Amino acid sequence: MRCDARLARVRVLREWWSSDIDYAWVANYHRTHAYLKSAPYFITVACFLLAVKTAVDLVTAQRAGLEDGSRWVFGLATVVSIVLGLVWARGQFLSRTWSLRFVIIGDVTIAAVLFVSPPSQIVVISAALLMTVGNYANAFHGVRVFLCHEAWAIGVAGVLFLRLVTTTTVEVSAAVSTLITVLVVLFAASSLNHLFFTALRDDAARAFYDQLTGLRNRRGLLVDVESMLRSARLAPADGAAVVSAICLDLDAFKSVNDRFGHTIGDDVLRNAAARIGRVSVDAVSARIGGEEFLVVVAGDESRGPTVARALLRAIHREDDATPISASIGVASMPLSQARGDTAVMLNSLLDRADAAMYEAKRQGGNRVSVADTGTDGVGGRRQEGLSL
């Protein structure tokens, strides 16, 4: 029993150490959340407040007659803080690379300001400012970034403590008490935040995916479609670019459950989802109903029907233990019109793709029905398919 408990703890530690953060997903989650999308503005305020602190330190250094090097550090830190604040004031999240650079710049800037400040207990306590950078690293980056920051923060606090006890007349007991206070804030608070953010992030990620198939659910679909459209709009302009919704429904799936049971039915769904994922690796795929799936792609007008035909071929295999086919509907709209509320746009596309899919099903299934761009009527669709 004890051995099993130790193995379980080792497994948890290994998973924690090897866990990686999908920065793009975290940023997209913040963008689509009513409250979290305001995070850039809170970071802006924090940067400007740091700029005010360093500006006050600069004035104090000038009045105290500190050496030019200290004043240069205070001045440069003020400028850096203002620039970072202006970057975040755009209300946009940084790329992963620049986010990591932001953590490094924040850690180095705060440490530099503390190192050139005259040794005092207040300066040691001010090392707690590094916790603000730690909270950001916790929210957007993984365990390795967190541990690097934590080691840096504790190291900075230790150096400030040594300066305090070796260059001032402060009693060692008072200095130790100050250091312990800072370490409690840096270590305990940051560690608890790290565990909290990790658990919360994992739970949030699972809430965006279908537990049976591993594909996105409707909520995850919306988040990733917004990200895909954002990236597509940033790509070189193309007047023919469209966004396409491919609605896929497994034919006669109820008979699979009735004949073979729900366990086999679940296996069929998992296999279908895996094949959809392999075909649409650069698209957004989701399970939106019992045996209904949706794939959203961006590209030229031929992209949607091309992916749909590939899905049709991938789903049906004669050598399967329980062969299954699919009815697929495709609907598209110009990328230039895919603006505003993504949920409204996606629902409109889904309605048209769903109607086209039912037309393919009425034609016998195992085929693709393509709705003309901007056409809602059945007469505006064309069928492409394979007969069983």
State the pairing for strand pair 284-287/242-250.
unpaired
Buried b (16+ CB within 10 A) or exposed e, 158-191: eebbebbbeeeeeeeeebeebbeebbebbbeebe
* Sign of the Cα pseudo-torsion (181, 183, 186, 188, in order): negative
**CA–CA separation, 369 vs 304, rounded Å?**
11
Give yes or no for a contact between 340 and 286, defined as CB atoms under 8 angstroms apart.
no
Q: For 345-365, give the secondary structure using H, E and C.
A: HHHHHHHHHHHHHHHHHHCCC
First to last CA, the chain: 56
Place of tokens 């230039």: 336
Q: Measured at the alpha carbon of residue 333, what is the angle toward residues 330 and 336, in degrees to the nearest 5?
A: 155
Determine which one of 150, 291, 318, 359 is catalytic: 291
3-state helix, strand, coil in the chain (%, to 5): 65, 10, 20
Cβ proximity of 384 and 366 under 8 Å: no
Per the listing, tokens 């963008």 go with 31
Residues 33, 243: Cα–Cα separation, whole Å: 23
Q: Is residue 291 flagged as an active site residue?
A: yes
The catalytic site residues sit at 291
